[in-house]
Amino acid sequence: MSFKIPYGKQCISEEDTSAVIEALHSDFLTQGPKILEFEKNFAAYIGSKFAVAVSNGTAALHLPLLAIGLKSGDRIITTPITFAASANAARYCGAEVYFADIDSDTYVISIDSVKALLQKHPKGFFKAIVPVDFTGYPVNLEEIKKLANEYGLFVLEDACHSPGGYFKDSKGVNQNCGNGVYAEAAAFSFHPVKHIASGEGGMITTNNEGLYKKLMMLRTHGITKENMLLDFPEADKQGLWYYEMQELGYNYRITDIQAALANSQLKRAEQGIKKRQEIAAKYRTAFANTKIKMQAEHTNHFNAYHLFVIEVDTRKELYDFLKENGIFAQIHYVPVHLMPYYKQFGWKEGDFPNAEAYYKRCISLPMYPTLTNEEQEHVINKVKQFINIL
């Protein structure tokens, strides 16, 4: 039996296909009712008051920072172990990106590193923080929010990996990733490897109505038909066609075709999370008491398992060995501060020892709901075979 197993993959059902076909035959390919329907359902799933669908997860990170007026001369904090977009969003606004090291066991931004970074600078030095629920492991946003309140930071949760994840706060309440209780806004991605796939697509969730209205406007060029200024020649003679561009926004719209697909996928989100938990549990049992290190588990943090990461001493060799056996593992991520683009700002090797040590050893094993038992067995056997060889 020959295998070809990716690290992540979308799952498209007959229902999904029908939903897309229906959208294709409807009156609207974009700017139609499917978008609002998806936004409402997604907000209900996450538990936020508002949701704004956008063209991708990167746009979902960019718009909230734009909305708060982040600009050249401002600074934000994020983690080096993330996809470049978490940092790039601030660069699009002209702001500088600072990094705080990760926790070596959970792999998400370390609260102590954030605290140390904040204490090194005067209050007001940083405008925002972008914590990332890396792999689907929810950052303790209650802790982040305490610091944010003390230092005046806007909290934008990068929840691209974590729809369906939650952490238990100090009151014992489960707080869903992206629900807006401890962060002003959160960003999600619907790239095919993510929990919900729409090809390209993203979502911003927030509980702040003012921010929501601004995001809706910025998503479509800064154009609005609400609260118009009407500072226009013969304003009283303008009809229903009239609109105003009040700010410089973007075309970050999602299409109705994508929203229809994502909305249909959302119906299976819970099922997908359950399957991801089962796959993770099986990996954990298989690799317990071996020299493989796995991401920490905490009863207060429910991991949505976008990724299943392990650490080994001989990562490159394992990666190559798995590839020879039809298993296409992946590395998440090359640390952002060591990207040539970010090095120009002075970041260098040695700046974030935990992140760099993690990067040398990490590898993401296949994790997606349609991974079969037989395929997972093959992955487990090959990893074990490799570990025993050495």
Least separation in angstroms between residue 377's CB and ligand PLP is 28
Beta carbon nearer to ligand PLP, 57 or 163: 57
384 vs 390: CA distance, rounded Å: 10
Out of 65, 76, 85, 108, point to the residue binding ligand PLP (CB under 6 A). Answer: 85
Out of 113, 140, 175, 189, point to the residue binding ligand PLP (CB under 6 A). Answer: 189
Is residue 58 close enough to count as binding ligand PLP by CB under 6 A? yes
SS (H, E, C) 297-353: CECCEECCCCCEEEECCCHHHHHHHHHHCCEECECCCCCHHHCHHHHCCCCCCCCCH
107 vs 131: CA distance, rounded Å: 12
CB atoms within 10 A of CB 134: 28
Helices (H), the chain: 14-24, 33-46, 57-67, 85-92, 111-119, 141-151, 209-218, 256-266, 269-287, 315-324, 340-343, 353-361, 373-389
Question: 206 - beta bridge partners?
Answer: 50, 185
Is residue 83 close enough to count as binding ligand PLP by CB under 6 A? yes
Which region among 155-163, 219-227, 242-250, 372-380 touches ligand PLP (by CB under 6 A)?
155-163
Beta carbon nearer to ligand PLP, 191 or 382: 191
Residue 139 tokens, joined = 């950052």
Is residue 62 close enough to count as binding ligand PLP by CB under 6 A? no
Least separation in angstroms between residue 275's CB and ligand PLP is 20
Determine contact, residues 90/76, Cβ cutoff 8 Å. Answer: yes
Q: Please give the helix or strand (H or E) that residue 83 lies within, else none.
A: none
- Total residues contacting ligand PLP by CB under 6 A comes to 14
Out of 86, 140, 206, 303, point to the residue binding ligand PLP (CB under 6 A). Answer: 86
Is residue 132 close enough to count as binding ligand PLP by CB under 6 A? yes
Residue 199 tokens, joined = 């090809």
Which region among 41-49, 77-85, 226-234, 287-295 touches ligand PLP (by CB under 6 A)?
77-85
Tell me the CA distances in angstroms from 118 to 96, 97, 98, 140, 145, one per residue in order.
15, 13, 11, 17, 13
Which region among 25-33, 82-90, 101-109, 177-185 touches ligand PLP (by CB under 6 A)?
82-90
Which region among 53-61, 101-109, 221-229, 241-249 touches ligand PLP (by CB under 6 A)?
53-61
Is residue 158 close enough to count as binding ligand PLP by CB under 6 A? yes
How many residues are given for the chain?
A: 390
Determine contact, residues 40/184, Cβ cutoff 8 Å. Answer: no
Is residue 161 close enough to count as binding ligand PLP by CB under 6 A? yes
Least separation in angstroms between residue 372's CB and ligand PLP is 25
Least separation in angstroms between residue 288's CB and ligand PLP is 28
Which region among 55-63, 90-98, 253-261, 369-377 touches ligand PLP (by CB under 6 A)?
55-63
Is residue 57 close enough to count as binding ligand PLP by CB under 6 A? yes
Beta carbon nearer to ligand PLP, 106 or 224: 106
Is residue 160 close enough to count as binding ligand PLP by CB under 6 A? yes
Q: What is the 8-class DSSP label of residue 247?
A: S
Is residue 82 close enough to count as binding ligand PLP by CB under 6 A? yes
Q: Please give the helix or strand (H or E) that residue 267 lies within, else none.
A: none
Which residues lie near ligand PLP (CB under 6 A)? 56-58, 82-83, 85-86, 132, 158, 160-161, 189, 191, 202
